[in-house]
Structure 1
Amino acid sequence: MQTVESLFDNLWTQYVAINPQAHSIHQLLQQRGEHVINDHIALRTFNHPHLNIDAIAQVFVDLGYQKIDNYVFEEKKLDAAHYQHLENPHFPKVFISELKTELFSQELQDIINDCVSQVPNDAAAEGDFIFSGRPWSLAFPDYIRLLQESEYAAWTAAYGYCANHFTVSLNHLTTFFQLEDLNQFLKDAGFKLNDSGSEIKGTPESLLEQSSTMAPLVKVRFDDSEHIIPGCFYEFAKRYPLNDGRLFQGFIAANADKIFESTNAKSTR
């Protein structure tokens, strides 16, 4: 029987296989005596009925999660929602986004429709679907065509279903208290950070600060060839208290908009 813990364990195992950099950072923090807590994960999908946010979220809903809020990213043509566990606030939050495919060219829509048509309508209901990887065939020229219109579309088509990122909760660290210090530690260790806008997205006034690595390049098998493309990244978040003393648990669209760019192909080279 799948539990919240086993689901996240499976997601983590798949994630670090794509992004061993995250495992390395995790180990560096543990060597400092830290007990790393995951603030949230993020998943990407398309807005087709049997693979949209609601469909992908169902496995979490079945385990006690509830949708908390919705977000819109007009420039990137995305919608998103975040979920939290009803009874256990210590379980990681889940952020799921979807591409609004109808806002893109017919060619992009045709490629995505071809991908989605290869997936059984009830596939997302299976408990292991969200860590099943790419459930469709994809030719590299189609990946490149998607990349010309949307980094998000290309990444999602190439990787399918996996955690796009895990997130270290700075609030649970004991040797770092400011995101600036953690960022410097990571840069000193040789990791490249996403500096789109700035290295730190958000402010104490907005109640959430976030930073992330840039996704390292990964060898991916397409239909008839292998190519090096951006993989997954690792995020870091510091949350600030509300007036009642509880930590803010939501997300800031302006922050997330820049965090999305951690997988940008042009930025990782």
Structure 2
Amino acid sequence: MRAAELLAQATKRLVEAEVPDPGRDARRLMAHVLKVPPGRLTLFLPEPVDPELQVIYLTLVERRADRVPVSHLVGRRMFYGREFLVTPEVLDPRPETETLIEVALTEPFGRVLDLGTGSGCILLTLLSEREGAVGYGCDISPAALNVAYWNRNALGLEGRAELLEGRWFEALKGVTERFDLIVSNPPYIAVNEMPFLAPEVRDHEPRLALTDEANGLTAYHAILAGYAKWLEPGGRLVVEIGMRQGMAVCDLFSAAGLRGVRLIPDLDGRDRVVVGTKPR
């Protein structure tokens, strides 16, 4: 079977399964199986596909029809121009989170702390973008930290990023320095919103990283209760939020003593990031 015929068959299957953007996903999976750059897949469509690769491809298509995320099937996800290892133990890096990166990079920083680092995509992207900066990534999940270790080493950041296990600031036992930037994409989905998530998220990403099993604000309370000890005067706290949490989190920031609190939308115009500065 030629690649074009196989691609048409796969796209039809994903359409039947009501997978969002089925043509895109069928192409991404084919590029992965054929080991060709996605942008050059068209050049290979007239060619026959080895029968063994056909079986592998159609198996992946069936798993995608079951709503397994593409990133879990190919093991990688692009984020801010870099490729990160992704497994079911970590959140899938999302384009919306790049808004947090953009906000963090608007001002200088030399020491950054990432709370709930997961795959490490936020911490490692910031260090890659800011030469000479160093930082810590903390996570309560050893399985998530294993993924972050792999991504750190793949990006050559072993000497600049340290990864620690523990809940929020409790992971920093023995650390003495303070930070001029603290960032976090914490679990902010309210428990009553979980049933309405896309199956790719609800059924295949770690629940611990998605919801606090309460109203979605628990993590912000924990972060704001401990940030003052670790953030330098003049330093910034930058967090990602749910699209209906903007005013609530801004109020929490102000009540915790942060100044210049701002609510920043993502490229789709949805509330996405809250940033505040510790007074000098």
TM-score band (shorter)?
Answer: under 0.3
- In the superposition, the TM-score normalised over structure 1's length comes to 0.24
- In the superposition, the TM-score normalised over structure 2's length comes to 0.24
Of the two, which has the highest radius of gyration?
A: 2
- Greater relative CO, 1 or 2 (CA 8 Å, sep 6+): 1
Identify the structure with the greater helix proportion. Answer: 2
